Chains A and B, each alone.
Chain A
Amino acid sequence: MKYDILIAGVGGQGVVLASRMLALAAMKAGFRVSTAETIGMSQREGSVSSHIRIGDEISGSLIPAGQADLLIGLEPAETVRNLPFLKKGGKILSNSHAIAPASKPPGSPEYAPEALLAFLKALIPDMLCLDFTRLAEEAGTYRAANVAMLGAAAGAGMLPFSKETILSVLETEIPEKHRAVNRAAFEGAIEKIKPGTLIGNRR
């Protein structure tokens, strides 16, 4: 068994925490796991990504291009940026909530999130896309968008373990005072993606 997940976002969105939760859940489910993440400079409003490799064999922690089974993008441009890691037929879960780049150095392309989301949708028609930031905000804080997306992934059966497994990790990894909102975001997302009610670039 091998399952490679890539989580991508912008510094401050909680990519590292989400990847840690996935890794712990994978361990709980009895798999071997390794993760690689960007730490340092890129955290200051830069692109951040984390590779999570789940399986029986130890490999390097970086997912080779075209091998990720699942791409979780916490931000549309970062989802697109990391597409080359996704394998043919791989799954995508993307946040539709855009974060504009902090500064716009001369010559850098305009950010048009709508166009990027349309590109994604044309390419992977059955990708799961929602404004998870707003969903998390409704649950209590926009900061829980990362956890909401884990909920969506678990609820949509995109992960090689159950939503109960990841929920139990949430209990140990999220500090007590933030736990309730995060649980609400997690469960809210599962509600939202119930078969038939979801899909598409609804914002």
Chain B
Amino acid sequence: MTEKKLLMGNEAIALGAIEAGVQVVTGYPGTPSTEALETVVRYADRCGIYTEWSSNEKVALETAVGAAYSGAKALVTMKQVGLNVASDPLMSLSYIGVKGALVLLVADDPGPHSSQTEQDTRVFGHFANIPVLDPANPQEAYELTKLAFELSHEFEVPVILRTTTRVSHSCEDVELAVAEPAPVEASCEGFVKDRRWTIFPRLTTERHPWLENVQVQLSERFSELPYNSVSGSGKIGIIASGVSALYVKEAVKGFEGLFTLFRVGTVHPFPEQAALSFLKGVEKLIVVEELDPYLEEQALQLIGKAHLPVDVYGKKNGFFPVGGEYNVDIVIDGINKVLSKLGEPSRLSHASPAVLREELPPLPVRAPTLCAGCMHRTVFYAFKQAAKQLKKDSQVETIFSGDIGCYTLGNAFPLNMVETCLCMGAGMSIAGGLSRTNSEVKQVAFIGDSTFFHSGIPAVINAVYNGADVTLAVLDNRTTAMTGHQPHPGIGVTVLGNPSKAIDIAGVIRSCGIGSVRTVETVNLEGCIEAAKEAMEFKGPSAIVFKGNCVGITKSGIKLTIDTESCTGCGFCIKQLGCPAIFLPPGEEKPFILDSCNGCGLCAQICPSESISEDGVKK
């Protein structure tokens, strides 16, 4: 019996995986992929599925690989940037293959909305010789997840299910084949020893032809699938995949006689046969796709190979934007550009808005900021003071290297405390590099607790081994905050909430050989400034683990107020901290504290006239 449920793309993927019989699910949180694993967790006990947040994507993939080598069905989830971390095992895995089934959910982020890059996983699949499915909406995400498991099992290869933000984070009425996830039939024959699992040059040489042959077979299979479909009847062809295909459908509504749309759901290996029969029916080709010109390159190649007289209009000749997220309006503009180039009279028209963007009055900027009461603010402020002191006492400047997490927001006004940020775990190593080339400057690197376990540890080891004069500040708020508060190896709790051994960050750092390691609570600003000074004065690598709470999970219950009598209106609290709970109404002199105060007490510790205090306990 089928059932319709309102599901987010990521939830649909999780339910599809469970229906496909997934037994092991691993991942590292990363927007927009995170909810897929979190949804599986809701059914893990009932369905007998093993789930874990792994310490990073490489570890997640390798764990899933072990399960798949044993004949189990495994899913591993990450975002596009996480795929880079997992790419080392992945590139070898494509040669080795799997036995049960292994599906990688990789969520791309055109825009980007919350990512460091706009990289395109379709191209990664091409690079790694791994099939890629590209759903357009939650319904397709659900169906293609099941297909991914089937294909992986049948062809013994890992399969990538690639989504984008508008698929992962869209909600839709999804028609499910089974109303409620049933317990998974655990069939897994166990690991069978065989030389095929050990990669060696000789094995690679043997496997390479097999791998290439699989691509051909898959391309043929894909050509027959309904996820690659043709609609419309015009002489102008349009090829699109993922959510872009839906934008095209909406853009050309009413002009179906002018265009023929080829929607590609299985993007790699390219379904050549299906594409060829589509291309033979059109005279011109428009390619509509977010991120890289992947389909465009495939189409150009095929057109050349088959000597077809078809002109191609896409990113490469400037008809569509090369980067950024697409929408119906961008697609309309692009298609219109092509039409006018072709001397076609018909124009697709935009809807007429009540107001144009240019007509809007000036609006306040709402830049994302650290939450009211976030412990990171205290640490940044402490280092700012310590660095100021250092500058005053000995004219030494400081460079602050950041990392990926909520604390990247330390770069925002008025803290301005992040001067470099590259990728997960890079803060400390970059600071190491900076120390070699800026010998007179003090180096401080910030990293979060989850990121420390993800890829921070090797940088610590490197700093010790090579004697980099760097101060590491670990911002330990006991969670992976940015992606929605997932546990990690330092918490002592697994993804299911079961107790586990908590790994002590200071202990790890000490065991790596860092000479000066201190742990400080962030409730005490003075203590934080003292610790920062001491660590910065230490010769050689030093570290401080700052312990505090993320107010996203732990509220203090305390609320501070400003005493209007003694407040001088100096504005110090506003100008120094950027706390969203301290508010100065326009035109007024004295600030007040909003309900959103979480009682960290930082403002009370810096107010020169001691006007801020705790005023009873919040209910």
Binds A, one of B20-28, B297-305, B433-441, B578-586: B578-586
Does A103 lie within 8 Å of B350, measured CB to CB? no
What is the number of residues of chain A that contact chain B, defined by CB distance less than 8 Å? Answer: 61
Expressed in whole angstroms, the Cα–Cα distance for A80 and B363 within the complex equals: 8
Q: A200 to B243: give the CA distance in the assembly, Å.
A: 40
Q: A60-B166, A80-B360, A103-B414 are in contact. Are A86 and B366 (CB under 8 A)?
A: no
**Is the CB–CB distance between B172 and A35 below 8 Å?**
yes
Looking at the assembled complex, report how far the CB atom of A86 sits from the nearest CB atom of chain B, in whole angstroms: 4
Q: Is the CB of A102 within 8 A of B361?
A: no
1/0 per residue, CB under 8 A from A, across B375-415: the answer is 00000000000000000000000000000001001001110
Q: B363, A81: Cβ atoms under 8 Å?
A: yes
Nearest to B587 among chain A residues (CB) is: A110
CB atoms of A34 and B137 under 8 A apart = yes
A46-B366, A60-B247, A111-B586 as given contacts; A87 in contact with B329, CB under 8 Å: no
Interface stretch (choices B257-265, B269-277, B351-359): B351-359
Known A66-B353, A85-B353, A87-B352; judge A34-B172 contact (CB<8 A): yes
Measured between beta carbons, the chain A residues less than 8 angstroms from B414 are 103
* B250 engages A34 (CB within 8 Å): no
Check if B166 sits within 8 Å of A105, measured CB to CB.
no
Q: Which of chain A's residues 83-102 have a Cβ closer than 8 Å to chain B?
A: 83-90, 100-102
Cβ contacts under 8 Å, B67 to chain A: none
User: What's the Cα separation between A87 and B354 when bound, in Å?
Assistant: 5
Which chain A positions have C-beta within 8 A of B366?
10, 45-47, 77, 101-102
> Which applies to chain B's interface (DSSP): helix, strand, loop or mixed?
loop
The minimal Cβ–Cβ distance linking B251 to chain A, given in whole angstroms, is: 8
Q: Are B367 and A105 in contact (CB under 8 A)?
A: yes
* B455 lies within 8 A of chain A by Cβ: no
CB–CB B354/A89 < 8 A: yes
* Cα separation A27 to B327 with both chains bound (whole Å): 24
Q: When chains A and B are docked, how far (Å) is the Cα of A103 from the Cα of B363? A: 14
Q: Does A197 contact B (CB under 8 A)?
A: no
Check if A23 is an interface residue, CB within 8 A of chain B.
yes
Let me know if B413 and A102 touch, CB within 8 A: no
Across the interface, which residues of B come within 8 angstroms of A156, CB to CB? none
Q: List 29 A-B contacts (CB under 8 A).
A: A11-B368, A20-B6, A23-B6, A34-B172, A34-B173, A36-B170, A39-B114, A39-B169, A40-B114, A41-B113, A41-B114, A42-B113, A42-B368, A44-B370, A46-B366, A46-B367, A62-B328, A64-B327, A64-B328, A65-B351, A83-B355, A83-B360, A84-B357, A102-B579, A103-B369, A103-B413, A105-B365, A108-B365, A110-B586
